[in-house]
Amino acid sequence: MTNRQQAGGYRAVLTGASGGIGAAIAARLAPHCALLILVGRQRPLLEELARQLRGCDVQIVCGDLCDPHTLGAIAATARASGGVDLLINNAGVNSFHAFETQDPATIRAQVETNLLAPMLLTRELLPLLGTAPNAQVINIGSVLGSIGFPGFAAYGAAKAGLAGFSQALRREYADTTVTVRHFAPRSTRTPINSSAANAMNRELRNAEDTPEEVADAFMAFLAGKAATQTLGAAQRFFVLLNKLLPAIPDKAIGKQLVQIRKHLPR
């Protein structure tokens, strides 16, 4: 049992459970849970995942997180199951595309799914989380929320917003039993990345993790006390450099623009 875990295990909500990183987290988290509520839009995938999980009560909420009814259904399931003490806002969407010609609906979907939905779900569950002796909200961000990158303007903006939300809410709840944390993977081999994004990553030799590696790092983060974590030593250095001396990443990324544009849908 970790320092934050309740006796009997976590009582967790995991969004994006049917995705690459979500399913890998679910597999590792389930043995440490008393209750695990899996959220996604594809019931067959969630049911298949639930069949594979052992050691805890598994519940499914199927719905779109951009629909307020889904947020209400998650809260109702959490209440009916006896409460929750861990919310993992992991669901996300990403579209690698030239910003000027990106469909407004796609821009909106990225902001709504990656930023607004986690904010509103957190708001919905805070009263319940506040009744647990110790509770945490963990928002899954991205390195691209700290380092703006061509082709990811909308996604990066939403993930930067999620990092800001996590920090402000953590400070707002500093004198309560609820902790708000932020975990930012780097590029990971999952369906969220289009073939164009994968081709660009290969050409730029960007480091890529497997979902299992990310889930292992997540479990270590969950057991620890850090408020935030970015995966990858090189990425952590680049994030710091980007904060202190942004002109250096401006120049470095500028030198990659010809290669990036080769792959960027427009």
Ligand X SMILES: NC(=O)c1ccc[n+]([C@@H]2O[C@H](COP(=O)([O-])OP(=O)(O)OC[C@H]3O[C@@H](n4cnc5c(N)ncnc54)[C@H](OP(=O)(O)O)[C@@H]3O)[C@@H](O)[C@H]2O)c1
Contact 212, 24 (CB under 8 A): yes
> Which structure tokens are listed for 44?
């067959």
Binding to ligand X by residue 113, rule CB under 6 A?
A: yes
User: C-beta of 176: minimal distance to ligand X in Å?
Assistant: 25
Q: Which residue is nearest to ligand X (CB)?
A: 19
Site stretch for ligand X (CB under 6 A), options 49-57, 90-98, 99-107, 238-246: 90-98
Binding to ligand X by residue 73, rule CB under 6 A?
A: no
| Active-site annotation holds for 173 | no
Q: What is the dihedral of CA 3, 4, 6, 9, to 10 degrees?
A: -90
Q: Give whichever of 59 and 90 is closer to ligand X, judged by the CB atom.
A: 90
> Which structure tokens are listed for 144?
């691209």
CA distance 45 to 39: 10
Binding to ligand X by residue 161, rule CB under 6 A?
A: no
Contact 128, 80 (CB under 8 A): no
Give the residue, chosen from 44, 191, 205, 233, that forms a contact with ligand X under the rule CB under 6 A.
Answer: 191
From the candidates 155, 165, 183, 238, give the one annotated as an active-site residue. Answer: 155
Q: Is the dihedral of CA 260, 261, 262, 266 positive or negative?
A: positive
CA distance 151 to 170: 30
- Between the alpha carbon of residue 241 and those of residues 93, 173, 184, 249, the distances in Å are 27, 29, 17, 7
User: C-beta of 57: minimal distance to ligand X in Å?
Assistant: 20
Binding to ligand X by residue 232, rule CB under 6 A?
A: no
Binding to ligand X by residue 137, rule CB under 6 A?
A: no
Binding to ligand X by residue 16, rule CB under 6 A?
A: yes
Q: Which residues are catalytic?
A: 155
Site residues, ligand X (CB under 6 A): 16, 18-22, 40-42, 45, 64-66, 90-94, 113, 140, 142, 185, 187-188, 190-193
